[in-house]
Amino acid sequence: MSNRDLKFSEASGVSLIGMAGAGKSTLAPLLAEKLDWKHIDTDLVIEAFYGKLLQDIVNYLGVDKFRETEDEILSTLGAIRTIVSTGGSVIYGSRTMENLRRLGPVIYLRIGCETCLDRVGKGDGRGLAKEPGQSLEALYNERVPLYERYADFIIDTDKFSADDCAEQIAAWLKSIQE
């Protein structure tokens, strides 16, 4: 986890990172409701930009170009009093991750590899930015160190209910509040 000097205030945003199936899209609205904030899903931002489903965009651009485009679009994202639910590949974009860290705390929603495989299957149609022939397990193992590098807080979402996770995150945010 990050050891940066972290402050949290009403002018902050909070970003959720993690693998597909970790609960980012589920937790974002729950946490937003607890804090009386808004939430945004960056996959929907990218879909709106292109006017296509995420998987179609990944297929059209290819993985490398998709990751570059994702970094370009999200590196300028602004969000105050907003929970940002990111796509799993966001951690490949250094400009985006710097931007998200400027906005406020970055929370890694961690799940075990087995849980990821159970929830996501082969990932068909999920908009996973993975190389052709790359297994979901290989993608998981590639990404975990990156999630850990950027995380200010880690919660194991496969060990608690979504409501419990939202409560624990809200309590942690309160503990670092200015």
| CATH number for the domain harbouring residue 97 | 3.40.50.300
| Parent domain of 105 | 14-175
Q: What confidence tier does 2 reach under pLDDT thresholds 50, 70, 90?
A: low
State how many domains the chain has: 1
Whether residue 1 lies inside any domain: the answer is no
Whether residue 4 lies inside any domain: the answer is no
pLDDT score, position 11: 66
Q: What is the mean pLDDT of residues 51-56?
A: 93
Whether residue 44 lies inside any domain: the answer is yes
* Beta carbons within 8 Å of 24's beta carbon, 6+ residues apart: 16, 17, 18, 41, 85, 86, 109
Whether residue 6 lies inside any domain: the answer is no
Give the integer Cα–Cα distance in Å for 20 and 120: 7
User: What is the average pLDDT value for the chain, to the nearest integer?
Assistant: 91
Is the predicted pLDDT of residue 1 greater than 70, yes or no? no
Q: What is the mean pLDDT of residues 133-156?
A: 94
| Token pair 């490398």 in the structure block, residue | 64
Contact 136, 89 (CB under 8 A): no
pLDDT score, position 176: 87
Give the integer Cα–Cα distance in Å for 164 and 135: 31
Whether residue 79 lies inside any domain: the answer is yes
pLDDT score, position 7: 67
Kindly report which listed range (8-22, 59-73, 117-131, 154-168) carries the lowest average pLDDT score. 117-131
Contact 13, 84 (CB under 8 A): yes
Whether residue 68 lies inside any domain: the answer is yes
Q: What is the mean pLDDT of residues 36-53?
A: 95
Whether residue 20 lies inside any domain: the answer is yes
Whether residue 2 lies inside any domain: the answer is no
Is the predicted pLDDT of residue 122 greater than 80, yes or no? no
